[in-house]
Structure 1
Amino acid sequence: MPMLIPDDVRAKAEIYTGDAAGQEKTRLMLAETELPSGLLPLKDIIECGYVEETGFVWLKQKKRVDHYFAKAGRHVSYATEVSAIAEKGRLKKISGVKAKEMLIWVNLHEICVDDPPTGKLHCKAIGGLSRSFPVEAFEATDALAVPVTGRLKKKTEKESTDKKDEKEEDSAEKPKEEAAEKPKGAAVAPAPAAVDEIGQKMKEMNTEAPVQAEAVAAKN
């Protein structure tokens, strides 16, 4: 039966469509809840929704995915629709996730890590069955980066603003420092154009002096 998300829940949720956005938001959610990055290896995600107020998250993909976690030695099946309540170090009230135990599939209802961390991840099934595995067994092997959004993006923008303010302050202080270093009464070097003009006038004076001397001699 298809998962129906009530309109009031959708109104409070951040909703993303498409596989690229779905993969990024899934990784971000796992990173923020301090869970291993490969815990939800879904493919061809159609929709991803997250309600920050309650931690409710849902994911819809085109078809079921059966994934084998080699380091844990476990097969896990993800239905076309998966949902859970996400909180620090825990996914609870999970639906749409099954793990193979011996010859049967069991529904997982909770996945969590210890706080403080011990390097162990615990999978709990309906009926009381529980298994523990190394956290590293569920880390993603690909290099998909966690996006910088929301709170992290605001922090980055603030750092950029601070750096800009520092540069402006340095630019304002530099002329003051140069003025302070320059001693009072120091001679100011003439500009190149002024030097050329003075040189030209001196040449004209040197040329006029002999002419004036000849004129005086002839008059006497």
Structure 2
Amino acid sequence: MKLTIPEDVRAKAEVYVGDAAGQEKTQLLLEETGLPSGLLPLKDIIECGYVEETGFVWLKQRRKVDHYFAKAGRHVSYGAEVSAFAEKGRLKKITGVKAKEMLIWVTLHEICVDDPPTGKLTCKAIGGLSRSFPVEAFEADGPPPPAKPADAVANGNSSAVAAEELTKKQTAEEEKEEETKKETAEEEETKKETAEEDNNKKEKEDTAAIAAINEIDGKLKEMSTEVVHAEAVAAEN
């Protein structure tokens, strides 16, 4: 569902355009609310809006992002449009965020840290499902480690590498699925247009046929009238 921001809400908001400004505001918001710095790993942010009065925040990125939190062992999908209401230690009424639980994706509606702090972060899904994880599992990673030698990379089989490859594979599969859906929708639209054209053509042909029949009936009536008139004249004579 496309996220539409009412004009009166936009008028009250601080709006940041571009990835650099959006990333900076996102990190500042997470810091101010006391949530882990890596909780919103969005990419290519187009627009970020924040209404301080209500805590409403929205984020628009060029495409959805699938992220694997290795320390939590969870895949999380962030849609092209994400929104929430932010308050101290909590994001509530979230839209556009899903987490993978076993083999299914569940929609998250709230993420919060314990108060008083226990070092735990809880994710709540629509339907009552709830899971808690260490807060540190969602902190942003530090600078990337030095590159490994080519042979070490070739022989390495760490869980992080495996997870990254799995994420790439899932992303490719999802993109392929979306492309297939798009092609199917285009084919259905083409069939619909073709059917409408055929119906219009048939209606025109039927209309033309009826007009031709009416014209023939008119001429026959005229001929019949002329014959009757001629017979009447002949009888008088």
TM-score (norm 1): 0.64
Secondary structure of the corresponding residue to residue 82 of structure 1: strand
Q: 1 CA distance for matches of 2:36 and 2:8? A: 30
Residue 109 in structure 1 maps to residue 109 in structure 2: yes
Identical aligned residues as a percent? 85
Q: Deviations over 1:35-91 (max 9, x none)?
A: 000000000000000000000000000000000000000000000000000000000
Q: Which residue of 2 aligns with 1:90?
A: 90
2:72 equivalent to 1:72: yes
Alignment of 1:129-208 (within 5 A): 129-142=129-142
Q: What is the number of equivalent residue pairs in this alignment? A: 143
Q: Which residue of 1 aligns with 2:9?
A: 9
Give the counterpart letter for 2:40 in structure 1.
Answer: L
1:51 partnered with 2:51:
yes
- Distance in 2 between the 1:90 and 1:48 partners? 18
Letter in 2 for 1:8: D
For 2:62, the equivalent position in structure 1 comes to 62
Q: Which amino acid aligns with 2:74?
A: R
Query: What is the CA deviation profile of residues 15-35 of structure 1, one whole-angstrom value per residue up to 9, with x for unaligned ones?
Result: 000000000000000000000
* Aligned-partner Cα distance in 1 for 2:96–2:8: 22
Match of 2:218 in 1: none
Could you tell me how far 1:115 is from its partner in structure 2?
1.1
Q: Between Structure 1 and Structure 2, which shows a larger proportion of helix residues?
A: 2
Opposite residue 136 of structure 2, the aligned amino acid is E
How much does 1:142 deviate?
3.8
Q: Distance in 2 between matches of 1:66 and 1:114?
A: 26
Q: State how far apart, in whole Å, the 2-side matches of 1:15 and 1:140 are.
A: 24
The letter of the residue matching 2:80 is T
- Take 1:135 and 1:66, find their aligned partners in 2: how far apart are those partners? 20
Structure 2 residue runs without a partner (length 5+):
144-237
Bigger relative CO (Cα 8 Å, ≥ 6 apart): 1
Query: Matches of 1:124 and 1:49 in 2, distance apart?
Result: 24
Point out the structure with max Rg over C-alpha: 1
SS in 2 for 1:117: coil
Q: Which aligned segments of 4 or more residues in structure 1 are displaced greater than 6 angstroms?
A: none
Find the counterpart in structure 2 of residue 178 from structure 1.
none
1:2 CA drift (Å): 1.9
State the alpha-carbon separation in 1 of the partners of residues 28 and 55 from structure 2: 13
Counterpart of 1:12, as a letter, is K
- Partner of residue 127, structure 1: 127
For residues 7 and 66 of structure 2, the distance between their equivalents in structure 1, rounded to whole angstroms, comes to 31
Name the CA distance, whole Å, in 2 between partners of 1:104 and 1:134.
22
Counterpart of 1:27?
Answer: 27
Q: TM-score, normalised by structure 2?
A: 0.60
